[in-house]
Amino acid sequence: MVKLKADFISDWITYLRERLIQEGWRADEIQRLAERDVPISFFESRRRRLASRPRLLKIAADFQCPTVDQVGWTALQKKVTMGADLNPHLSERHSNIAHFDGLLAEWQVHHFHLGTDFDPKNPQYVTRTGSLVFALVDDNSFCAINVFPHRTHWEEIGIVESIHRNWPDMISKYRVKGVTPETLDKNQRRALREHNGNVLVGTKDGTVYVPIGGGVVGSGAKMECVMSADKWCIEIQDLQVSFEKQLSELMPTFEQCGYAGEDEIEGQLKITETGYQVFFPKYSVLANLQIRHL
């Protein structure tokens, strides 16, 4: 019986590297990633950069913007509602796919610079500002928490308090009962973040949350990203096993294209906008598989 000579996992990882490079991540950094780290980095990249799409702007009841930053804040609000690219307002360190943002990892909060012109030193970003807008952002909403001075509020429990007070439904799935959180100061929380620790947060009314960013694993990668990578890896492996069982159905096509009784037929997994395909280079045959998007 003819066998399929293929490695769908390797093909999938090659595809993910290409996607990351196409999306603007540095090619040298992506090529240096170990194979096992590529899927995790891919899913990490989905939260690190924001898709350009209109979002509903929600502003915390106690939000205050200093007068000196009002022009920048007004411009950012317009970009949010119109669906313009918000990534130039993020940290320049986000251009490094390995950069760890503790605020984002633990609490799913982005911080946005309020520059109104592009930075001449790095035109991919707006000019850096001393004040930052902290916001909880998903595909549909931009929840502006407040404006904070640079590098002073990364570990402030008040950030979670504000989200809990203004948009509790957005983080309800992270609530836990029957546990008592540790009382940590800023230095202790910073130290835990630096060592990729996961800790509970308690609000003033007694509500307790696990990390609303989903938590991290020992490497610092977001737990949900690791789980997504594992899930897709299993599905790609299952896809190859399933396809190998169906290979005999393609034999008439191979025979028409020059198959002469070889023991193995080489196949390569291809991923397109519409789904999976397997390409057989020796026979120039392309077989469609079940559609599944990344």
Residue type, 77: Q
Residue type, 176: V
**Residue 274 scores a pLDDT above 90:** no
Which of 157, 25, 156 lies closest to 98, judged by CA? 25
Please tell me the distance from the alpha carbon of residue 195 to that of residue 191, in angstroms, as a whole number: 6
pLDDT value, residue 290: 60
E-strand stretches of 63-185: 109-113, 118-119, 122-126, 131-137, 141-149, 175-176
**Residue 292 scores a pLDDT above 70:** no
Please tell me the distance from the alpha carbon of residue 143 to that of residue 137, in angstroms, as a whole number: 6
Please tell me the distance from the alpha carbon of residue 27 to that of residue 49, in angstroms, as a whole number: 17
Give residue 293's pLDDT band: very low, low, confident or very high (50, 70, 90): very low
Average pLDDT, the chain: 91
pLDDT more than 70, % of the chain? 98
Angle at 199 between CA 198 and CA 203, to 5 degrees: 145
Helix, strand, coil tally for the chain in percent (to 5)? 40, 20, 40
Which residues face 3 on adjacent strands? Answer: 264
Across the range 180-197, mean pLDDT stands at 85
CB 269 within 8 A of CB 6: yes
pLDDT value, residue 93: 83
**Distances in whole angstroms, Cα of residue 156 to Cα of each of 25, 103, 175, 182:** 31, 10, 19, 14
Give residue 171's pLDDT band: very low, low, confident or very high (50, 70, 90): very high
CB 147 within 8 A of CB 131: yes
Which of 253, 281, 249 lies closest to 267, judged by CA? 281
pLDDT, tens digit (0-9, with 9 covering 90-100), for 200-238: 999 999 999 999 988 888 887 888 899 999 999 999 999
CB 240 within 8 A of CB 12: no
